[in-house]
Amino acid sequence: MQSHENSSTLHLASLTRDLQSRDERCRANAYRDMLNLAEQGDGKAMFQVARCLNQGIGVDADSTRADHWLRLACVAKPASTDALFTYGMSHVMKQRAGADTSKGIQYIERAASAGYVKATLELVKLVEHGHTDIKPDLRRAYRLLANSISSHSDVALYAAYASFVERHQPITNLLDS
């Protein structure tokens, strides 16, 4: 089973690289193959199909179909962390009809808890500074960062943690009592 997963991951990476080609025929073929993987239930491929449809990569742009594949990528098993983050941010930034900030935060939290560093950093920023319907909460932002560095080893997370602690000295007022 492990070798099948590795093969699938390599194939997906190759197709993703082909989507960046300057050759339109190569991009179209990569989109077709990516769509095939997406139709088989691959969440990462679903996200790439959504991206292609949204940006017109290898296929004519179609925002309605792009949104359909983005939402499917969020419920795939496993879900695409890129899709969870993108969908969540579209709610937070009020870029979609019926945008719901709390729903957006839930999707971003799912991406962050799955180890998507970009989602963690953006979530901390939203919670630290607040945004539209989100009130600033320094304790929660600190806990998000502290928990993320204890479960994921990443240079960007450590840098964000150090910067956060430096900005909010003394840190003792953010520690749980």
Q: How many domains does the chain have?
A: 1
Cβ 37 vs Cβ 45: under 8 Å = yes
**Size (the chain), residues:** 177
- Percent of the chain with pLDDT strictly greater than 70: 93
Token reading at 170: 């003394």
Q: 160: number of CA atoms within 13 Å, CB side?
A: 24
Least confident of 26-35, 103-112, 161-170: 161-170
Residue 132 domain-assigned (yes or no) = no
Token reading at 82: 């890129």
Residue 44 domain-assigned (yes or no) = yes
Token reading at 39: 């139709």
Residue 49 CB partners (closer than 8 Å, separation 6+) = 31, 34, 35, 38, 69
Residue 61 domain-assigned (yes or no) = yes
Query: In this predicted model, what pLDDT tens digit does every residue of 16-69 receive, in sequence order?
Result: 899 999 999 999 999 999 999 999 999 999 999 999 999 999 999 999 999 999
Q: Which domain holds residue 40?
A: 1-73
Catalogue the long-range contacts made by 22-28 (C-beta closer than 8 Å, 24 or more residues apart).
24/58, 27/57, 27/58, 28/58, 28/59
Would you state the pLDDT for residue 2?
A: 57
Residue 92 domain-assigned (yes or no) = no
Cα of 7 vs its chain's centroid, Å: 23
Cβ 88 vs Cβ 107: under 8 Å = yes
For 166-172, what is the mean pLDDT? 82
Would you state the pLDDT for residue 3?
A: 56
CB atoms within 10 A of CB 155: 8
Query: What predicted TM-score, i.e. pTM, was given to this entire model?
Result: 0.88
Of the pLDDT bands very low, low, confident and very high (cuts 50, 70, 90), residue 171 is confident
Token reading at 98: 């019926």
Q: Is 15 exposed, middle or buried (0-12, 13-18, 19+ CB in 10 A)?
A: buried
